[in-house]
Structure 1
Amino acid sequence: MSVPSLPAPRGVLADLIPTIGAKAWARDAVLVAGGAALTGLSAQVAIEIPAISPVPFVLTTLTVLLLGACYGPARAAASMAVYLLAGLAGVPWFSEGYSGAVPTLGYVIGFLIAAPVVGALARRGGDRTVARTAGLMVVGNVIIYAAGVPYLMAATGMGLSDGLAKGLVPFAAGDLIKLVIAAALLPAAWKLVNRFTNA
């Protein structure tokens, strides 16, 4: 007789991290601070090609969307708020060590919107399969560009065609690679969780 498997844990991956006693706020505070720091660290892995775009090629988008999926909406929003507000206050952790109202600030504002949206979708199971995770990444990227490109245009005086050509098009291939990475990582992480849960 086969033993029925337990249902998959609901929520997001960060919910599975045990709390210290009954103090979930302590766990969440560490996660929020760590998420902001990790976002700032990933922003320093940048390749600048001014002839192509004033926006550097960074790992930040992948970091932000993975954090959103792993953290859920509240922790993701808090992490991105800390990252944005601290950067505006002078912490040099925007891309390439910048801070303040840089021309690429719109993308950071997009992080603040995209991460919790991705987190909310992940909480509903949107990160459990390859196809759903790919959809999450597309939604997150669209939100980031919807905030980043208009801000870049306003900050630099670019028109719409230049804004798209320099603020979106050069990054399409990189975003596809990031999408594939996320679509492999998140469902694989849940498979491991389910294996240990059902063991």
Structure 2
Amino acid sequence: MATTAVLHPRGEKLVLSDLIPVLRGSRAREVALVLGGAALTGLSAQISIPVHGSPVPVTGQTFGVLLVGAALGARRAAASMALYLLAGFVGVPWFAGASTGSIHLATLGYLAGFVLAGALVGRLAERGADRSPWRTALTMVLGNLVIYACGVPYLAHAAHLSAADALHYGLTVFLLGDALKILLAAGLLPGAWKLAGRRPVGH
């Protein structure tokens, strides 16, 4: 049976966070969701494993970004990731390894890609792309591609790497971990919708 997006009674497409009944439609709720998405990304970034020869560690960060995108939708996810970056650059220690950022950070391209990836995954989730395992996996792959498309070229520039080395240390060494994260998301997100029963949301 084809999977379709769940609709609000007013005809708006829903994402998982719209199923939370607390303060629905209020500004306070929107702010809380954006703050929560940024905090979740910061928390997941603390799962950090250094990679020999690369300034980019293996982290739970990208998984957090893509989950936030799917759960919040495009507009909230983009705002959440922008807040995450801004707060990190002004001193909140929630980048990988409890670090803060600067314009000279070799991973700046990846961080900028979080905003675009969150928005893309959020838009696809609004269209129902997180309702089945295969569509969720494809959505996560696309989100990762956006992050790498921003991160790898900047890494090559900032770390003075050749294109081949940038691809190796900025992409190839992370593919196995990304595959595991995608498989996890492919079970987690459709499972969350199943638990929610795909019930219509009331006023």
**TM-score, structure 2 as length reference:** 0.88
Partner of 1:47: 49
Give yes or no for contact 1:9–1:194 (8 Å, CA) kept in 2: no
> Which has the larger helix fraction?
1
Partner of 1:4: none
* Residue in 1 that maps onto 2:86: 85
- Corresponding residue of 1:60: 61
Amino acid at match of 1:84: L
What is the CA deviation profile of residues 56-107 of structure 1, one whole-angstrom value per residue up to 9, with x for unaligned ones? 1100111110110010011101110000111111222111122122111111
Which residue in the other structure is 1:191 paired with? 194
Give the RMSD, CA atoms, in angstroms: 1.6
Q: Is contact 2:34–2:77 with CA below 8 Å preserved after alignment?
A: yes
- 2:19 aligned with 1:16: yes
Q: Determine helix, strand or coil for the equivalent of 1:56.
A: strand
Deviates more, 1:117-126 or 1:23-32: 23-32
Q: Distance in 1 between matches of 2:26 and 2:153?
A: 38
Equivalent residues of 2:113, 2:146 under 8 A apart: yes
Q: Superposed, which structure 2 residues align to 1:24-173 within 5 Å?
A: 24-51=26-53, 53-101=54-102, 102-173=105-176
TM-score, normalized by length of structure 1? 0.90
Q: CA deviation at 1:8?
A: 6.9
Q: CA 1:93–1:196 in structure 2 vs 1: closer, same or farther (change >3 Å)?
A: same
1:41 deviation in Å?
A: 1.3
Larger Rg: 1
Distance 2:47 2:195 in 1: 29
Mark the runs of 5 or more structure 1 residues left unpaired by the alignment. 1-6
Amino acid in the other structure paired with 1:63 = G
Aligned length: 189
Which amino acid is 2:31 matched to? Answer: A
1:131-187 Cα offsets, whole Å, 9 max, x none, are 100110010000000001111111111110000010000000000000000000111
Residue 136 of structure 1 aligns with an amino acid whose one-letter code is T
Q: Distance in 1 between matches of 2:137 and 2:26?
A: 30
CA separation in 2, counterparts of 1:24 and 1:72? Answer: 16
For 1:73 and 1:161, how far apart are their aligned partners in 2?
33
**Cα distance 1:113–1:8, how it changes in 2: closer, same or farther (>3 A)?**
closer
Identity percentage over the alignment?
53
Unaligned runs of 5+ in 2: 8-13
Structure 1 Cα separation of the partners of residues 182 and 89 of structure 2: 29
